[in-house]
Amino acid sequence: MTLANLPPLVTVFGGSGFVGRHVVRALAKRGYSIRVAVRRPDLAGFLQPLGNVGQISFVQANLRYRNSIDRAVEGASYVVNCVGILHETGRNTFDAVQEFGGRAVAEAARNAGAGLVHISAIGADPKSASDYGRTKGRAETAIFSIKPDAVIFRPSIVFGPEDSFFNKFADMARMSPVLPLVGGGKTKFQPVYVEDIAEAVGRAVDGKVAVGKVYELGGPEVLSFRECLETMLKVTSRKNPLVSLPFGIASLIGSIASMIPFITPPITPDQVRLLKHDNIVSREAEAEGRTLQGLGITPTMPASVLGSYLVHYRPHGQYTGTGKAA
């Protein structure tokens, strides 16, 4: 194979994360050469079986350091940025990772003449009261000013084997007699399957998605926070009562938990601010076809997938309800 016949190279920032690993697999199936840019390449070796020998390589990169970003993008035909954080730790702040990092990746992609797909989130808004939503929104604004031909995907909450939503509450249900409904559990979500997001990214890299647009990715169902937890409890065969937790108390709990070193807080005040607003696809995006359906992708029902990875949270694992438990 000559150099001219080599498959295009795609750099995936955050390729070892929850969404990133599924993006890597989707791109590998399409035959691309993939360079996974992560802070700890030594911990990303589990990705190699997703492709053929030599198809997936690794490079050290940190979105807080511009030189490492430029090095990771060099020679790439396309760049995918999957990096995002749900809470701040040390120097990994929303400003540094999501806003500065998103801008820096866009600049590197522009300078390399590469295409760009950026994973944002529904709720991204430069004027958001949430630091998470505000930095996501500012990153989007910066990206389009730098790369007008970028593609931005905004998913609702993402579900899949390594998700931090259904897994989190299923694990909580094993230890806590009750589960909290922040704000009464009225916030609406549109859970989207991680594989559907990865397929959307793959189509964008294939050149089958119109550029210069923001796409909102939601699943086939709009579920309230309460309904999400009720679905999880049904799948895991548990009956924990759901108790309403006012926003103010949830924020106070988050503030206290965030001050305890070396633990991941169950919720942060910033996440409470996010929960005050619904997390669903907008009517404008639906009308303009800037959705999964508009991309020709049929969204996956949560109920068809949750049981495949929440089974170990059941009282007796896979044997719950079969009479085979010891």
* Beta-bridge mates of residue 131: none
The pLDDT of residue 262: 65
- Domain range holding 52? 3-160+191-219+280-299
Residue 227 lies in a domain: no
Residue 314 lies in a domain: no
Whole-angstrom distance, CA of residue 122 vs CA of residue 317: 34
Tokens of 303: 């109920």
Tell me the CATH number at 285.
3.40.50.720
The pLDDT of residue 326: 40
The pLDDT of residue 323: 47
Residue 254 lies in a domain: no
Q: How far is CA 20 from CA 8, 14, 56, in A?
A: 18, 6, 13
Residue 186 lies in a domain: no
Whole-angstrom distance, CA of residue 211 vs CA of residue 153: 11
Asked if 17 and 83 count as a contact pair (C-beta separation under 8 A), the reply is yes
Helices (H), the chain: 18-29, 66-73, 94, 101-112, 131-146, 166-175, 194-205, 225-235, 247-258, 269-274, 283-287, 303-310
Residue 184 lies in a domain: no
Residue 240 lies in a domain: no
Tokens of 317: 């694992």
Put simply, whether the predicted model's pTM sits higher than 0.85 gets the answer: yes
Mean pLDDT, the chain cut into blocks of 10 residues (326 residues total): 73 97 98 97 94 95 94 98 90 93 98 98 96 97 98 98 95 93 96 98 98 98 97 96 95 84 80 95 97 98 95 80 48
Residue 306 lies in a domain: no
| Domains of the chain: total | 1
The pLDDT of residue 290: 98
The pLDDT of residue 321: 59
Burial class (CB in 10 A: 0-12, 13-18, 19+), 170: buried
The pLDDT of residue 86: 87
Burial class (CB in 10 A: 0-12, 13-18, 19+), 227: middle
What are the DSSP calls for 112-157, one per residue?
HT-EEEEE--TT--TT-SSHHHHHHHHHHHHHHHH-TT-EEEEESS
Residue 246 lies in a domain: no
The pLDDT of residue 318: 67
